[in-house]
Chain A
Amino acid sequence: MNAHSPDTLQRLGEASQWLARLRADPASEDNLRGWLRWCEQHPANAEAFERIEGLWGQFGQVAGDFVAVSPDAAEPQDRGARDQAPSAAMLRRPRRRLLWLAAASILLTIGAGVAWHLRQGTGQFVATEAATTENRLISLPDGSSLQLSARTQVSIAFENGERRLRMSEGEAYFKVQHDRSRPFVVSAGALAVKAVGTAFDVKSDSSGVTVTVEEGIVAVSPLASPGGWQADTAWEVGPGYQFHYTSQRGNATLTALDTSAAMAWREGRLEYVNAPLKSVIADVNRYSARRVEIGDSAAAALTFTGTVLTSSVHGWLDALPSALPIRIDRTSGDADVIYARPLNRR
């Protein structure tokens, strides 16, 4: 080990204190002046600060692994003793499950906006999610984890021997910790997706629900009896298959496919082949701070093939008129509106 010199250690210590001060009071002018003065005292001070501030950002890579719950919150009634006790100050997911998270987190900005509440007495874990335009990683107390796409919300209840999750419109990837005694059930739109231990992706929007299975098998069934389905119908969907339910027609299709395109959003890419512009824009809107709308049916009828980087949807939109015969009206206060443009003029 190469030990740091006493000077370097001193600087790293001071840098940590400055970081904490700046975090505590971002608006303080005294802090700002003091920090600038300290940085300028010696170039090594600024370098030490960069090493501390850099690590601060890198902590984002383990953000999904640590959840603090209130130490005096009641323990849920139905949780087995073999689980990590939720009354412990920290809940950690098992380390061996972290490989995929480490890989997936590299290109993502991981929001830490998850607030856990342990409702006393009810045994329910409820995660409230601020709707953000970024993907987020969340680990659950049972060792399962999920990755939420932008503006996707999920509520979670572990009770009556079941792990129940309800997701809003949007998209989420679930990596389920195997536990045969406690089924893992995700409800989305009109469907319930049940898994024991597997990895799958659920996308839900106004047109229907798509379930893509990466590993293991899930059982898909209607929540009520939508579109003439028998209430006891259940489809088993295996790895490499995509199940799509269309709410308008009430029918379902099962397709074999390369699941990597469907999972690309987890690495910050949305991939499309001949996709209706309408559904592309619906996805893009989840990642965009400013709303994008389609202004006429001619534009809605266009199809898009290509990749959208979720980190730069604005850049994608700027470039879209060079790829498709459209123009973008940015004069509206509420949204950017896409109109079809006649092919013979720019």
Chain B
Amino acid sequence: MSESQHNATVSETPGEPSLGAAPGDRATLVSELFRQHNRALISFLLVHLSNEQEAREVAQEAYVKLLQLDKPEAISFLRTYLFRTAINIATDQARRRGRRERIERLEVFDEWSERASVEQGVLAKQEVDIVRQAIDEMKPKCRRAFVLHRFQDRSIAEVAQEMELTPRMVRSYVARAVLYCRLRLDGYNATDAARVTQELQG
């Protein structure tokens, strides 16, 4: 196992977070990153993860990694590094799950517990019906590309291969599908939503 490498500076002892051992300016940088970019980071991670709790855990691990950097430089560099690190962690689920319990909570992240609960993001019954209907209303190819990708775990590339389309086309179908459903949920009728989607996504 390559765990020792990852765990090098993650505290194994409750109550002794590694933050204290890191240079003070680094901790300041990371909490600044957290304040400015955490919302975007969670949003970014939710593109690939299925729930907010998971996204927060991945984000937390990314912050911890940032604290371990040898040479933290300008915050703009750190920001990209933070997002890239987070997405690497998210896509490497097995590794992440196995090590989850070893990550200690750091003070920086205390405000997470005050964030809105996950349930707030749940669709009401009527909204579920609208989404279901909206998916039915899509053109067959668009619907098929969307269903394969979103509900059947196929990557964009796999859908492209299966449907004999370019990945760019599949991407466009997926974008159209999600925009169409968003508009239908926001109160647009089928005709208007289709027209607006067509105008915006070509």
Residues of A within 8 A of B (CB): 1-4, 9-10, 12-13, 16-17, 19-27, 29, 32-33, 35-36, 39, 46, 49-63, 65-68, 70-71, 89-90, 92, 95, 98-99, 102, 106-107, 109-116, 133, 289-290, 311, 314, 317-318, 330, 333
Flag if A26 contacts B46 (CB, 8 Å).
no
CA A21 – CA B80 in complex, angstroms? 17
CA A86 – CA B54 in complex, angstroms? 35
Check A318/B101 contact, CB under 8 A, given A29-B80, A102-B128, A113-B153: yes
Flag if B196 contacts A9 (CB, 8 Å).
yes
Flag if B179 contacts A61 (CB, 8 Å).
no
Q: Which of B46, B119, B175, B186 contacts A20 (CB 8 A)?
A: B175
Inside 8 A of B40's CB, which chain A residues have their CB?
Answer: 36, 39, 46
CA A33 – CA B80 in complex, angstroms? 7
Inside 8 A of B140's CB, which chain A residues have their CB?
Answer: 89
Inside 8 A of A71's CB, which chain B residues have their CB?
Answer: 144
Inside 8 A of A290's CB, which chain B residues have their CB?
Answer: 97-98, 101
Flag if A68 contacts B80 (CB, 8 Å).
no
How many chain-B residues does the 8 Å CB contact rule pick out? 74
Check A90/B147 contact, CB under 8 A, given A16-B175, A19-B178, A53-B43: yes
Residues of B within 8 A of A (CB): 1, 39-40, 43-44, 46-48, 50-54, 79-80, 83-84, 87-88, 90-91, 94, 97-98, 100-101, 119, 121-123, 125, 127-129, 131-132, 135-136, 140, 143-144, 147-153, 155-157, 162, 167, 170-172, 174-176, 178-179, 181-183, 185-189, 192, 196-197, 200-201
CA A89 – CA B162 in complex, angstroms? 13
Flag if A16 contacts B176 (CB, 8 Å).
yes
Flag if B83 contacts A26 (CB, 8 Å).
no
Which has the most chain B C-beta neighbours within 10 Å: A1, A16, A54, A89?
A16
A21: min CB distance to chain B, Å: 6
CA A92 – CA B151 in complex, angstroms? 13
Check A4/B136 contact, CB under 8 A, given A13-B200, A24-B167, A33-B80: no
B111: min CB distance to chain A, Å: 18
Interface of A is mostly: helix
Interface of B is mostly: helix
Flag if B51 contacts A57 (CB, 8 Å).
yes
Inside 8 A of A4's CB, which chain B residues have their CB?
Answer: 183, 186
4 additional A-B residue pairs with CB within 8 Å, beyond A32-B84, A36-B80, A98-B128: A20-B171, A89-B143, A109-B54, A290-B98
Pairs of residues from A and B, 6 with the lowest C-beta to C-beta distance, nearest first: A13-B200, A289-B97, A24-B156, A20-B175, A16-B179, A16-B175
Inside 8 A of A10's CB, which chain B residues have their CB?
Answer: 200
Check A56/B43 contact, CB under 8 A, given A9-B200, A32-B80, A106-B122: no
Check A54/B46 contact, CB under 8 A, given A32-B84, A89-B140, A333-B1: yes
Beta-carbon nearest neighbor of B102 in chain A: A330
Flag if A112 contacts B153 (CB, 8 Å).
yes
Check A26/B48 contact, CB under 8 A, given A1-B188, A19-B178, A113-B153: yes
Check A314/B101 contact, CB under 8 A, given A16-B201, A66-B135, A68-B148: yes
Inside 8 A of A330's CB, which chain B residues have their CB?
Answer: 101
Beta-carbon nearest neighbor of A103 in chain B: B125
A and B contact pairs by CB, cutoff 8 A, 5 listed: A20-B172, A20-B178, A32-B84, A66-B135, A112-B153
